A and B are shown apart, each in its own frame.
Chain A
């Protein structure tokens, strides 16, 4: 299964562990992620706050570059996913926008015909790969690992292309396939505060504290995320939250792809990309790591 892979800036920067683990898990599952050559920043939420047309053009340059391969676009960052998907849809729905974007792209000899589909890796793994194939690759089932499935906002909103917009289920499904135990986590599709952690910390920390509280109360050993911004906010803010709210959170926050890698028995550092956490994960991965080492001997 081939896809045109759009990584996005974040997983090339502070969140490389997401990309490394995503590429590794995809490879195990026969999902071939072929990186788009010379992709540009999708624009995230920031570009659209200043410019509308330019923001669409920025996203559309990627779509136009990808179109010649005629494969679905695979993203792992939900912000990239929504931005590219939104421009893709708006261009198709709105003739004037399409013409303006293409007139601009014409200046650099590109044109976007609107033939592509933008997908998130979670969707691809659950719906294209499927239960049987995922289960067949599990060598170290994550038995007994309680996981709070955290989708964040943009994995499912606004379009809800592959799951419910407020009560999604795909990550729970996937976690069960690899032997883990998803806990009930009603805040699973609520916002982590996004970039407000930088621009309005007070507001963001309130949201983050709420999420950490809910995850702790649910009895989860760790949180699984599908978003680099969520991962950073939830993990890197625990010190701040603890000092401001007088709490004692120490909640490991991993990418769902890292849990996949663990269950697939992949090398812990080079492929599961563990070892750069700010909140230690040793305790929770120990039981599964042992079985990995045993198997490798």
Chain B
């Protein structure tokens, strides 16, 4: 971790926003909420970490972070199917990071094989009926400029 949460807060107070947004700190946050329940000042640190992730993405500073790539892939798949096909998530992530982390794809494939042998791999991908509704909301949000569109949308319904 580049900086601890304390250092992050101190850096922001010192207006070192760049340094914070370029760091890997928030991308290592698992949302365990331990800091949130312990913070004596009642700061919702976990929510704050989410905010930093979103800012880093918005300013194009998180592109190389594994957790950012995974989160984007996740969003793409939810937008497409309305649910997450886990194997597809892992496979797509493995492909996207195969250049920077060549071992990853292989180790994911090995795990997939083990799970397959135990009969744990799910079959096809389900698309929910409401996926068009999700797209409708999305178009509305964009038209109202209520939230930027940071992840390319893909058409729903494909298997």
Contact = CB atoms under 8 A, between A and B. Distances in A.
Given A16-B120, A40-B82, A153 B141 contact: no
Contacts of A82: 31, 33
B142 to A, nearest CB: 10
A191 B71 contact: no
B67 A278 contact: no
B30 interface: yes
Contacts of B27: 199
B55 to A, nearest CB: 11
Contacts of A154: 31-33
A236 B147 contact: no
Contacts of B51: 52
Interface string B36-76: 11000000101000110110010000000111111110110
A261 interface: no
B115 interface: yes
A294 to B, nearest CB: 27
A41 B120 CA distance: 20
Given A12-B83, A51-B147, A276 B120 contact: yes
Interface residues on B, range: 35 or more
A66 to B, nearest CB: 13
A196 interface: yes
Nearest to A203: B28
Contacts, number: 171
Which of B32, B68, B138, B140 gathers most chain A CB within 10 Å?
B32
B66 A199 contact: yes
Interface string A186-203: 000011011110111101
Contacts of A276: 118-120
Interface residues on A, range: 35 or more
A61 B146 contact: no
Contacts of A290: none
Contact of A195 (B67, B111, B128, B141): B67
Interface of A: 9-10, 12-14, 16-17, 38-41, 43-54, 57-58, 61, 82, 100, 104-105, 107-108, 153-154, 157-158, 160, 165-166, 190-191, 193-196, 198-201, 203, 236, 240, 275-278
Interface of B: 27-28, 30-34, 36-37, 44, 46, 50-51, 53-54, 57, 65-72, 74-75, 78, 82-87, 90, 93, 104, 107-108, 111, 114-115, 118-122, 126, 128-131, 133-134, 136-138, 140-141, 146-147, 150-151
23 contacts: A12-B83, A14-B121, A14-B122, A40-B131, A47-B71, A49-B50, A49-B57, A50-B150, A54-B147, A100-B146, A104-B141, A104-B146, A107-B137, A108-B133, A157-B33, A160-B37, A191-B30, A194-B31, A198-B104, A198-B108, A199-B66, A199-B70, A275-B119
Given A40-B82, A190-B34, 13 more contacts: A12-B83, A13-B87, A47-B75, A50-B71, A54-B141, A104-B141, A107-B140, A108-B133, A153-B30, A154-B33, A158-B33, A191-B30, A278-B114
